[in-house]
A = this chain, B = another copy of it.
Amino acid sequence: MTSTTGALLGPGREFERIRTLLADLPAAPGVRVGPGEDDAAVLADGLVLSTDLSIEGVHFRLDWITAEEAGWRAAMAALSDLAAMAAAPVGILASVAVPGDGDLALPVMAGVRGAASRVGAPLLGGDLTRSPGPVVVDLTVVGRTEAPLLRRGARVGDEVWVTGRLGWAAAAVRDWLQDRSPIPAAREAFLRPTPRIAEAQWLVAAGATAGLDLSDGLAGDAGHLAAASGVAILLEARALAGLAPPGLEGLDLTLHGGEDYELVVTAPPGCLGPRVEEFVKKFHLSVSRVGTVEEGQGVLLLPATGEGAAPVPRGGWDAFRDATEPKP
Q: Which residues of A contact B (CB under 8 A)?
A: 1, 6, 10-12, 14-15, 17-19, 21-23, 25, 28-31, 35, 40-41, 43, 47, 49-53, 55-59, 90-91, 93-97, 101-103, 105-106, 109, 122-134, 136, 138, 140, 142
Q: Are B11 and A126 in contact (CB under 8 A)?
A: no
Choice from B6, B40, B47, B57 contacting A132 with Cβ under 8 Å: B57
Q: Are B102 and A11 in contact (CB under 8 A)?
A: yes
Choice from B21, B40, B122, B128 contacting A19 with Cβ under 8 Å: B128
Q: Are A132 and B22 in contact (CB under 8 A)?
A: no
Q: Are B122 and A28 in contact (CB under 8 A)?
A: yes
Choice from B49, B59, B123, B130 contacting A142 with Cβ under 8 Å: B49
* Bound-state Cα–Cα, A123 to B51, Å: 12
Q: Are B14 and A128 in contact (CB under 8 A)?
A: no
**Can you add 12 more A-B contacts, CB < 8 Å, to A58-B132, A97-B136?**
A1-B127, A12-B101, A15-B128, A21-B106, A22-B126, A29-B122, A30-B122, A43-B124, A51-B140, A53-B129, A55-B97, A55-B130
What residues of chain B lie closer than 8 Å to A12, measured between beta carbons? 101
* Bound-state Cα–Cα, A103 to B133, Å: 21
Choice from B6, B101, B102, B131 contacting A55 with Cβ under 8 Å: B131
* Bound-state Cα–Cα, A15 to B49, Å: 30
Residue contacts A-B, CB under 8 angstroms, 29 given: A11-B101, A11-B129, A12-B101, A14-B102, A15-B101, A18-B103, A18-B128, A22-B106, A22-B126, A28-B91, A28-B124, A35-B93, A35-B126, A49-B91, A51-B126, A53-B95, A55-B131, A55-B132, A56-B132, A57-B132, A58-B129, A58-B131, A58-B132, A93-B140, A95-B95, A95-B138, A131-B134, A133-B134, A136-B138
* Bound-state Cα–Cα, A132 to B56, Å: 8
